[in-house]
Amino acid sequence: MKAKSINYIEDKVLDGERITQEEALHLLEEAHLTTLGFLANEVRKRFHPDGIVTFVIDRNVNYTNVCVAGCKFCAFQRKVGSPEGYVLDTQEVLKKVEELIQWGGTTLLMQGGLNPDLPLSYYERLIYSIKERFPQVQVHSFSAPEIVYLAKIEKLSIREVLKRLKEAGLDSLPGGGAEVLSSEVRSFLSPGKCTVDEWEQVHRTAHELGMTSTATMMFGHVEKPHHIIEHLERVRRLQDETGGFTAFIPWTFKRGNTQLDHIEEASTLYYLKVLALSRIYLDNFKNIQSSHVTQTMQVGTVGLHFGANDMGSVMIEENVISSTSYKVNIPKVEDMVEAIRSAGFVPAQRDTYYRVIRTFE
């Protein structure tokens, strides 16, 4: 019965039909890794028949590590008043952006903690100064929890906060802070952050205001398979509604200096299964990203055969995952190009909006 069921789902995927939540759960729990990989690869080829795999050159600037959220998986956060807490001023950020430009980068990813001492005006001045000095930089910054927190401390609507940030020069939003979009998971994992509905509201509103965003999922901790399906369903439904997501990016929890260090990390095989399922289920997403940051470059390129068409970024700076005990290896452009090429694909540099800037034939 199971074999017949898998075959039925496989036929649906190959025929380009949308699969249900129940069918997705069945694939995740019962299908062989090679079956998932084959199906995801077929879907990838449907979206990207040219065999191009992209990456972006960006910088991840964490403007503050002070945070009141208290997420159990985070090693980066520092409490208010901690001697290790910091806030970057505008000049420090501008220096980092200048280095990004010199490096050939296009995208500035700024994220930080939920810091009660930073008003909305801090963010507005920061973005305006960046755009005034470096108008060519695409500011892809501030996750949904940051937006919701700003709205609460300023007593403004989410729409008003996003409008003001957009007017200052914000181009698009990263999908961070999603973790797993299930209230059951979030109430344990990150109760101090925005709710599932608020995360969706931020991205829906950003899309309505003409901004794009990415959707993410950080898994491999306390969630069960059905929570992963719930997450995928939520972002697929929102994409049906707005069409504003440029990509989906799943990655795994890493241990070290967190409250969840007793949890066994997700295996590489499970990561590849979830990656492949994401490509199969999210039939309205053009781009799926493989995570070399949490999985190593070797596994990241394997992910290109499990549905991914993007390798994320060549980052000048990464602080959050590096705060754990996991050793993050940031590749150079030539390393990224060679890794993609050796996996059998055509490497290409892209911008924030997944537009190809140059191809490395």
Distance CA 345, CA 253 (A): 28
Is 183 within any annotated ligand binding site?
no
> ∠320-142-328 over CA atoms, to 5°?
20
If we measure between CA atoms, which residue out of 173, 169, 130 comes closest to residue 148? 173
Is 67 within any annotated ligand binding site?
yes
The answer for residues whose C-beta is within 8 angstroms of residue 227's C-beta and 6 or more apart is 180, 182, 184, 185
Is 179 within any annotated ligand binding site?
yes
Is 267 within any annotated ligand binding site?
no
Task: Give 303's DSSP letter.
Answer: G
Let me know how long the chain is. 361
- Is the Cβ–Cβ distance between 55 and 350 less than 8 Å? yes
If we measure between CA atoms, which residue out of 173, 186, 165 comes closest to residue 73? 186
Joined tokens for residue 348:
């290409």
Distance CA 42, CA 20 (A): 18
Do strands 346-350 and 356-359 pair parallel, antiparallel, or not at all (unpaired)? Answer: antiparallel
Helix (H, G, I), strand (E, B) or coil at 214: strand
Task: Give 64's DSSP letter.
Answer: B
The answer for residues whose C-beta is within 8 angstroms of residue 182's C-beta and 6 or more apart is 196, 223, 227, 230, 231
Between 268-281 and 33-47, two packed helices, what is the crossing angle to 10 degrees? Answer: 40
Is 194 within any annotated ligand binding site?
no
CB atoms within 10 A of CB 135: 8
Is 213 within any annotated ligand binding site?
no
Helix H or strand E segment including 206? helix 196-208
Q: Which residues are annotated as a binding site for [4Fe-4S] cluster?
A: 67, 71, 74
Q: Which residues are annotated as a binding site for (3R)-3-methyl-D-ornithine?
A: 143, 291, 313
Q: Which residues are annotated as a binding site for S-adenosyl-L-methionine?
A: 73, 179
Q: Which residues are annotated as a binding site?
A: 67, 71, 73-74, 143, 179, 291, 313
